[in-house]
Amino acid sequence: MANRKPSVKSQPSPTQIIDDDGEVRELTAADVADLKPLSTLPAAEQRMLLKLSRRGPQKNPRKIPVSIRLSPDVAEGLRATGSGWQTRADQALRLWLSGQTESLPRTSGRVTRP
């Protein structure tokens, strides 16, 4: 085995924003002042950069945004479960719907809480 020097994580110099490990340092006001608008770049580079910013097609079935009214205790309870609470609420509603053998009852008025 060849003698190797131990790897030392180098810090980026003040003019370098990415270190040897690919970590980006925090930008300073001087860094921001040196930035150029996209419109000043050659057209080929503009197209390449714009392609990078586009998101590819969604792999999972798309969910639609809806607005529903929940009781305060239900909303607080869902949010208290932490990150991903909307996904868990979606799963709970899907499970409840799968257990319904009859069509769901329609209500024409307010439902009062017990």
Q: Encode pLDDT of 44-84 as tens digits.
A: 999 998 888 677 777 777 788 899 999 999 999 999 999 99
Q: Contacts from 48-53 at CB under 8 Å and sequence distance 24+? A: none
Question: SS in 3 state form for 36-68?
Answer: CCHHHCCHHHHHHHHHHCCCCCCCCCCCCCCCC
CA-based R_g, the chain, Å? 27
Tally of CB atoms within 10 A around 46: 13
Of 12-21, 25-34, 42-51, 85-94, least confident by mean pLDDT is 12-21
* Average pLDDT value for residue range 13-34: 83
Counted residue by residue, the chain has a size of 114
C-alpha closest to that of 78 among 66, 67, 91, 89:
89
Burial of 85 by CB count in 10 Å (0-12 exposed, 13-18 middle, 19+ buried)? middle
Residue 18, helix vs strand vs coil:
strand
Of the chain, the percentage scoring pLDDT greater than 90 comes to 34
